[in-house]
């Protein structure tokens, strides 16, 4: 009897080891599976319908399309011209998961602001957004080439054009990335940009995923580059800015929890002594809601910047 009990002890021990190992394996598979799902969701956000038209505000426009110069993804948008002929242009870039209707109907007022100041407007949906083709969002890596293609489109259609870039959130980061690789731009306005994608996601991915940082964030960040075919360090507005030699305006809300104001603060501090750069902080507690919530002040700040750099029509 005692011998039998002694023989049973190793069997029970091995059984518990198998159970514990099985639980660990199931847990690991679960964590990796959830991480893969979140990573896939990150690069395949749901498309939002473009539910406005410049015609809704009586703005004459032309529907346009052009291809990305690197991979031929078809991109679609609008071109809006001033009543009096102008060589001034601004390309307006939307944020992650959005489209050219950044603030829905309020966006038309924003377009009109530029038109009233003698600046033509081109806006479009980035890949995998709105009405454009593509099935993957790369959070700046390939969107940079989408924007460079838009610049090239204007340059081909209007050889004497002077082109500025305006963007919000991911569109702001993309404007800084593209601005560092184009000799055809006159300024960059970046509203609520992140400073470096990898650092930003390491700190803030739980805000988007709803998951605890550990163990999910490291796994997600190892999966996403394989999904998009680009390393995260390729998307670094703060490093790209060293190659921008035109005026830069950074705008950010102090209460922004999606992309903390520290991103813009870091970019400003790094270049305030070597670039023509201006940084404006707002008390607003929301992400990319500055124009929507404070349109008068926002337009005044943009107008002051455009006047200072002599980009208004007739300056």
For 146-198, write each residue's pLDDT tens digit.
Answer: 999 999 999 999 999 999 999 999 999 999 999 999 999 999 999 999 999 99
Q: What is the CATH number of the domain that holds 60?
A: 3.40.50.1820
DSSP 208-264: HH-S-HHHHHHHHHHHHHHHHTS-GGG--HHHHGGG--S-EEEEEETT-SSS-THHH
Q: Are residues 209 and 281 in the same domain?
A: no
- Residue 97's closest CA among 74, 128, 51, 143? 128
- pLDDT recorded at residue 32: 65
Q: Are residues 18 and 58 in the same domain?
A: no
Q: Are residues 192 and 268 in the same domain?
A: yes
Domain end point (choices 230, 249, 280): 230
Q: Which of 10-19, 60-69, 199-208 has the lowest mean pLDDT?
A: 10-19
Q: Are residues 177 and 28 in the same domain?
A: no
Q: Which range marks the domain in which residue 21 is found? A: 1-43+199-230
Domain end point (choices 214, 230, 246): 230
On the question of pLDDT at 11 being above 70, the answer is no
Phi, psi of 65 (to 5 degrees): -150, 150
Q: Are residues 32 and 54 in the same domain?
A: no
Q: Are residues 180 and 284 in the same domain?
A: yes
Q: Are residues 254 and 288 in the same domain?
A: yes
In a domain, 314, yes or no: no
Task: Identify the band that residue 26 occupies on the pLDDT scale cut at 50, 70 and 90.
Answer: low
Strands 74-80 and 88-93: unpaired
In a domain, 315, yes or no: no
Q: pLDDT above 90 covers what percent of the chain?
A: 73
Q: pLDDT above 70 covers what percent of the chain?
A: 88
What are 126-152's pLDDT values in tens digits?
A: 999 999 999 999 999 999 999 999 999
Q: Are residues 154 and 250 in the same domain?
A: yes
* Integer Cα distance of 114 and 112 in angstroms: 5
Q: Are residues 182 and 251 in the same domain?
A: yes
Q: Are residues 72 and 16 in the same domain?
A: no
* Integer Cα distance of 57 and 120 in angstroms: 16
Q: In the chain, how many domains are there?
A: 2
In a domain, 313, yes or no: no
- pLDDT recorded at residue 3: 52
Mean pLDDT of 236-258: 96
Q: Are residues 141 and 212 in the same domain?
A: no
Q: Are residues 37 and 58 in the same domain?
A: no
* 120 strand-pairing partners: 89
pTM: 0.90
Domain end point (choices 230, 246, 276): 230
Mean pLDDT of the chain: 90
* Integer Cα distance of 307 and 315 in angstroms: 8
């Amino acid at each position: 009897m005692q011998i039998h009990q002694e023989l049973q002890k190793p069997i029970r021990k091995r059984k518990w080891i198998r159970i514990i190992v099985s639980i660990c394996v199931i847990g690991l598979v679960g964590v990796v599976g959830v991480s893969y799902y979140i990573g896939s969701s990150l690069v395949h956000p749901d498309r939002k319908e473009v539910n406005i038209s410049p015609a809704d505000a009586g703005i004459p426009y032309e529907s346009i399309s052009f291809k990305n110069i690197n991979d031929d993804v078809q991109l679609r948008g609008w071109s809006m011209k001033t009543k009096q002929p102008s060589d001034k242009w601004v390309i307006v870039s939307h944020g992650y998961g959005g489209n050219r209707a950044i603030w829905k109907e309020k966006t038309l007022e924003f377009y009109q602001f530029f038109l009233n100041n003698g600046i033509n407007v081109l806006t479009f949906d980035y890949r995998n957004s709105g009405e454009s083709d593509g099935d993957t969002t790369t959070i700046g890596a390939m969107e940079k080439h989408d924007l460079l293609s838009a610049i090239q489109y204007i340059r081909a259609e209007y050889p004497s054009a002077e082109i500025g870039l305006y963007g919000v959130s991911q569109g702001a980061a993309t404007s800084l990335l593209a601005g560092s690789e184009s000799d055809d731009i006159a300024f960059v306005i970046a509203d609520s940009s992140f400073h470096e994608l990898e650092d930003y996601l390491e700190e803030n991915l739980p805000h988007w995923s709803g998951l605890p940082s550990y163990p999910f964030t490291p796994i997600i960040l190892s999966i996403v580059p394989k999904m998009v075919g680009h390393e995260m360090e390729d998307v670094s507005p703060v490093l790209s800015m060293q190659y921008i030699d035109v005026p830069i305006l950074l705008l950010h809300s102090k209460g922004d929890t999606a992309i903390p104001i520290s991103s813009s603060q870091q970019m400003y501090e790094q270049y305030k002594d070597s670039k023509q750069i201006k940084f404006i902080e707002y008390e607003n507690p929301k992400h990319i809601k500055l124009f929507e919530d404070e349109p008068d002040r926002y337009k005044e700040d943009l107008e002051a910047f455009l006047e200072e750099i002599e980009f208004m029509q007739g300056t």
